[in-house]
Amino acid sequence: MSIIKIENLSFAYDRQKILEDINLSVEDKDFLAIIGPNGGGKSTLLKLILGINPVQKGSIETFGTKPQKNLSKIGYVPQNTNVNTDFPIKVIEVVMMGHIGTKRPLFGYAKEEIMCAMGALSQVGMEKFANNKIGDLSGGQRQRVMIARALCAHPQILILDEPTSSIDVDGQKQIYELLELLNKTITIIVVSHDISVILEFANKVVHINKRLTQHMITKKEKSSHFCEVELFNKLKGNSC
């Protein structure tokens, strides 16, 4: 059964069409990569799946219901995690924002919440930094903290918007290895520009530029050398 099902979805800001007639289904434990040009509608599609943007035309179902009902089942790592680095906040506090507001104590945080957040931090290998100020971390470390925040609510789908755009090469590799590990238990959806990296890990690639083109990655393609231009050509060829 598909855990995300999108049918004939269109979306426009004012009169400008962003997405047109999108059809997509995501299965449990998929590793889906979304690529495409800037302004092509990738982030908009994520926001529709998350229920931040309202559905205008067509339908989106996550876990068989409206996206707004699945706040805790979907973890989200937003695009730019380098903003607000002056903000006086500790790593552990950022992670605890991931808790959904149930079972909360009258004041402050419950012990289980702190334990759970520490667990998420150790999942991404950042437990030593729990009491550091978020602004003192490197871009890659901060990104892992944001992943821990998303993992805090034990999601079944993890959605990342350009997770490696402002990180050095080593940091990027670590992030993708972490995602590969997480993919053993949960579904991963990544918006990315790093096509060559994505190919190593993703089992499905879609190209979005207003319209969507899908491409399954077979084992053979994974192991053989595959260049970015070829992939683009393949995706473009499908769309016509």
- What are the residues binding other proteins (CB under 8 A)? 50, 52, 71, 76, 78, 84, 86-90, 93-94, 96-101, 104, 106-109, 131-133, 149
CB 1 within 8 A of CB 62: no
Nearer to other proteins, 81 or 192 (CB): 81
- Taking the complex as a whole, the smallest distance from the CB of residue 232 to other proteins amounts, in Å, to 31
Pairing of strands 157-161, 16-27: unpaired
Tokens at 225, concatenated: 């050398």
Nearer to other proteins, 46 or 205 (CB): 46
Q: Which amino acid is at 108?
A: G
What gap in Å lies between CA 94 and CA 212, rounded to an integer? 34
CB 126 within 8 A of CB 171: no
Nearer to other proteins, 71 or 199 (CB): 71
- Taking the complex as a whole, the smallest distance from the CB of residue 86 to other proteins amounts, in Å, to 7
- Taking the complex as a whole, the smallest distance from the CB of residue 171 to other proteins amounts, in Å, to 21
Nearer to other proteins, 101 or 219 (CB): 101
Pairing of strands 157-161, 31-35: unpaired
- Taking the complex as a whole, the smallest distance from the CB of residue 109 to other proteins amounts, in Å, to 7
CB 23 within 8 A of CB 206: no
